[in-house]
Structure formats: structure tokens, C-alpha cells
Amino acid sequence: MCTYITGHLNTVFLVEHHKEILRYIYYHQNQDGGWGLHIEGHSTMFCTALNYICMRILGEGPDGGQDNACARARKWIHDHGSVTHIPSWSKTWLSILGVFEWSGSNPMPPEFWILPSFLPMHPAKMFCYSRMVYMPMSYLYGKRFVGPITPLILQLREELYAQPYDEINWKGVRHHCAKVDIYYPHPWIQDFLWDSLYVCTEPLLTRWPFNKLIRKRALEVTMEHVHYEDESSRYITIGYPNGDYFKKHLARIPDYLWVAEDGMKMQSFGSQQWDTGFAIQALLASNLTDEIAPTLARGHDFIKKSQVKDNPPGDFKSMYRHISKGSWTFSDQDHGWQVSDCTAEGLKCCLLLSMMPPEIVGEKMEPERLYDAVNVLISLQSKNGGLPAWEPAGEAEWLEMFNPTEFFADIVVEHEYVECTSSAIQALVLSKKLYLATGRKRLINLLPLLHCTLKMYKWQMVHGTGIGEFASHMVPGLLLEG
């Protein structure tokens, strides 16, 4: 959709790309004609509408596609209330595309970026991924940006709705969401907030003089954050369709794509560091060192090169970023975002490999870089002893009441995770044993808190509360208990 809106669809995606993307879409269409949030999920309006639009953008006709894919998808959409019942985030995307009206979306005012940062509603308090989504969305909402209205867009306006596009009561569909999409129902206080902003605030901020005094400034500040994230993540993020910023993004698109047996897929980012770390640990446990020395050496080299060498550029704290020097990301160094368990697993690999002859696994990592990794882990620890994934946790839990998405829960603020806590314990214990004589007292004070936190999580799981988030929480629990 983004490349279509910006006019770069056929530049980025060649004919063979089109075929492979369509093959993936056809392969995972459900029997009822829709698509789920994941390939085994039940059909949802969010995914069915976006897949339908994607098929049409890639050249399929209204009744085209393998096994009448488009017609079946459109029937599913109409049977479930039409696209007026698509979730909130999708309303934004469709408004940008031009097949939905901004007046049918709940407000996403960019003015939140110019509020004092100590306020609980400031984006600085958000979970990093929600903040990264809200950032460009709030800018585009503030500008009421709409892409070119092409003949295809006009056709989609006719195909996606059960009534004429011009007769839809857009104000009345703001809170509509198909039942099959609802995982987190909005509490009444959230709808009251959106209604208040919609009725009272937006009419003021979009008219003179407030559109010049307040909204203009809010948009400028928001774009400053966008450009900062562009540069610090090496353009794994948005920009103008013909500008240098955007062209740098286009160059990164192939990083997200790969072809599998079911067609072409796109990922949010790679998992190179994560996969390499666990693969190296598994190989070390095999006791086949002499037979796999080149593999270990190359893996060691990749892990060392993937460590983030510096903090985010400039005054990163004013951009609401945490320290990253010494960390590892989920993918590679370019990504730039520290992840606690990725850092812990990378540190473990380097420590384990440091105990082996350098002629087999290569030169060991410098101690100072190991200290940097430990520093990142300690900096992320919460008062309750646990570790979050990306940034320090601790913001007010009641902010989750204002989660605007209907299909995700617990995404407004950062939380601690048993998996991250477990990985950190293992890495810090190994660090203390092998290297870190300095800072020993700090580590000794830290570890009981971490262990107690893990025991607390396991106690909760035994009593019926599942804490793990990444489908691996039983394994770290067993490792620590052992």
C-alpha cells in the first residue's frame, strides 16, 4: 500500500515479486474467504480487507484471483459489516490510501508530542513499538494526508462497502469494529476520551489561529522525531516519496522480504542475531568443537560485529531513547534497538566462546565491550527485579485502558517478561563467574532480585496465570530452577 501511494510500486516490486506475493495470499486464504492475523488464525476484517486491497493493487480484478479469491474475500467483508467495521489502526491506513474518510477515525493528535514529558499521556511513556506507530500516524492524521485518488481507489470505494461511499455516516462508524477482530474491547472511558477530542479539541486545532499556533508546531516536533528515528535506525522506518529520506527507505525494503515454499513473505525485521546466538549455544553443547570450528568462528565473528557500539546519536534522551551501547538487537547492528534477552544471549555466547582457544573460535571479545553489555542489562532492570524487552518499564498500568487497538492487549506501556529475566540471570551469573570482578557487589545484590522475580512468575503460572509472552517461558524457568 505504501509503495502504491507513493508511486513506487513497480519500481520496488517487479513482476515476479507480484506473482510470489499473490501466491502467498492465495495459499493462506481461509475456507470462508477471509484471512487471519496469523496463518492459523480465524478470519478478521483487518486482515481480509488489507489482503483484498493488496490483491487489487497487484492487478487482480474484482472477481479475479485463484479460486475466485477476490470475490470470496469481498463476500466475507460484506457479510461482516463491510469495511466500516475495520479496527482503528486499519481505519488510519485506509484513510491514507483514500478508501476511508479521516472523519471516520478516532483522533490521533500530534499535540501529545508537545505536552510536558512528565505527563502520563505523553508518548515518551509508551511502549516503544506503540510509540513508533503513533509517531507517523499522528503526523499523517494531523495533516489529514490522503494519497492520489486513482481509478482503482474509486473502484475500491464501491467494492468495500455495503452502501454508496458518499452516503456513509463517517462520524458514526468511529467505534465500529467487527466482533471477530475484538481481542481487547475498548472500556467506556477510552471511547469518552476519543469522543471528547473529536467533538471539542479537533475542531479548534484544525482552525485558525490554533492550526498555525499549535498544530503546526506539533507537526514540526513530530517530524523531528520521525527524522531522528530514520537516522538512528538507518532508515528502517518513513519519508517523502521523492525525497532523499524516502529513497533510503526504499533501498531497505529487500531486507524485509524472502521467498518460501508458500510464496513471498515480509517480516517486521530479521532475527539474525537471535537465531545465531541460540545456534552457537546449541553447537557448543554438542561437544563437536573440533569438527565445527569454522562454523563457530564465523558465528563468533558475526555476533561480535552485531553488537551495538554506540548509544543513539545526539541528545537521545530528549528523543525518549534508552542507552544501547553494548547491546544486541534482534537482527543486526543497523537496527539499533537494544533488546534485553538478545543482549543476554549475545553476551552468553561471547563469554562461552572466550573460554575456548582463539585458533578455533577467533579472538575473544574485549572485556570493555562485555562490561557495556552488562551495563545495558542492569540499566533495564525494574524495581520488582524483572527485565522488560526494550526499554525500562514502570509506567502506570492504568494507561493500558487507553489501548486504541482492538486486536492487541498490553501494548501501551512496557512490561517485564519472564523470558528476558531468565536470559539476563544466566548471562549475569556467567559474567560474574568469568570476568567481572569489578562491580561484584552490584551483581551480587542484583541476582537475588532477579531469581525471586522468576520464582514469583513461576508461582503465578502454577496458580493459573501465564506470564510468558514469547512461547518459551517454560524453558527459561526450567533452566533457572536447575
3-class DSSP assignment, residue 219: helix
Point out which residues pair with 260 in neighbouring strands. Answer: 263
Strands 387-388 and 416-417, sheet pairing? antiparallel
> Cα–Cα distance between 380 and 368 in angstroms, integer?
19
Annotated catalytic residue 341? yes
CB contact at 8 A, 313 and 362: no
The radius of gyration computed from the CA coordinates of the chain, to the nearest angstrom, equals 24
Give me 320's grid cell.
525518549
- For residue 209, is the peptide bond before it cis, meaning its omega torsion is within 30 degrees of 0? yes
Using CA atoms, how far apart are residues 78 and 71, in angstroms rounded to an integer? 11
Q: Please enumerate in sequence order all residues whose Cβ is within 8 A of that of 88, keeping only pairs 6 or more positions apart, or say none.
A: 105, 106, 177, 404, 405, 406
Four-point Cα dihedral 66, 67, 69, 75, nearest 10 = 170
CA distance 166 to 385: 55
Q: Which among 230, 332, 341, 372 is annotated as catalytic?
A: 341
C-beta atoms surrounding 268 within 10 Å: 10
> Contacts for 195-203 with beta carbons within 8 Å, 24 or more apart?
197/106, 197/107, 197/109, 198/106, 198/107, 198/171, 198/174, 201/107, 201/109, 202/107, 202/109
Amino acid residing at 385: G
In 46-177, which ranges are E strands?
none
Per-residue burial over 338-347, b if 16 or more Cβ lie within 10 Å, else e, is bbbbbbbbbb
Q: Are 427 and 375 in contact (CB under 8 A)?
A: no
Distance separating alpha carbons of residues 231 and 245, to the nearest angstrom: 9
CA dist 209 and 281 (Å) reads 61
Q: Which long-range contacts (CB under 8 A, 24 or more apart) does 167-173 make?
A: 168/84, 168/101, 168/104, 170/101, 170/103, 170/104, 171/103, 171/104, 171/198, 173/84, 173/85, 173/104
Tell me which H or E stretch contains 388. strand 387-388
Give the C-alpha separation, 380 to 429, whole Å. Answer: 16
Residues with catalytic roles: 341
